[in-house]
Chains A and B, each alone.
Chain A
C-alpha cells in the first residue's frame, strides 16, 4: 500500500459524459501528479500540482482538467468523453516538487467509455 488513495477504482460511462476521478495523496505529500495508461501506450504524464498550484503540464487534452484543493486532495475531470479515453488513470504523490523526489503511485482508476 503506497498510501495514495484513488476513487473510484472502476468506472463505466457513455461517450459524451463527464466524470471526476479523486485522489488523496500520502500523508505529508504536497505534490500530486496524474498519469494515463492506455492499452497500447505506456504511462503518460498529464499534469502536476504542488500545494494547490499547477506546476507542470504534459499531454493533457483540453477536455480534461484538474485541481488540487486546500486539503491537498486532487480531482481529475474528464469531459465530453470519447472511446479513446478508456484507460487506467493513476494519481501519484511526492513530498515536494523538485527532482530527486520519489513519486508513489495509487492503484489507479479504470475508466471504460462505451
Chain B
C-alpha cells in the first residue's frame, strides 16, 4: 500500500522555467511533509518542509504548497537551474511520538539548457 505517491517518474524543464513536482498521499494522519533531493549513490538532502497547519512554505527558489482536502502537495522550483537535476522525493510523517518518514517513489527532474 503506497501511502505517498509521486505519479510522475520523470520531468524535463528548460533552464529558467518553473518546475512543478507533485505528490499525493492517502494517510489522513500525516501532519508533516518534506521534500528531499537525491543524487545517485548519495544520501537524500533536505530541501523544504511544511506542517499541516500551513498551506504554503517558501525558501528561496523553492516553494511547497499543501492542499489538505485534496491530500496533495507540490514543490515549485523557480527559476529552474541545471544543478537542480536530480531525483526529488516527497516524504510524510504521522502525528505522534514516532517521526519516521514514508517516502514517495521519486520524480527525476532534468533541467535542460
Contact = CB atoms under 8 A, between A and B. Distances in A.
Contacts of A96: 99
Interface in B81-113: 89, 91, 93-106
Contacts of A31: 99
Contact of A107 (B32, B42, B98): B42
Interface string B40-58: 0111111001010000000
Interface in A1-18: 2, 4
A99 B96 CA distance: 6
A43 B44 contact: yes
B31 interface: yes
Given A2-B43, A42-B106, A88-B41, A100 B89 contact: no
15 contacts: A42-B103, A48-B98, A48-B100, A55-B98, A97-B99, A98-B96, A98-B98, A99-B93, A100-B51, A101-B32, A102-B34, A104-B46, A105-B44, A107-B42, A110-B41
Q: What 4 pairs across the A-B complex have the smallest Cβ distances?
A: A56-B98, A105-B43, A43-B103, A99-B93
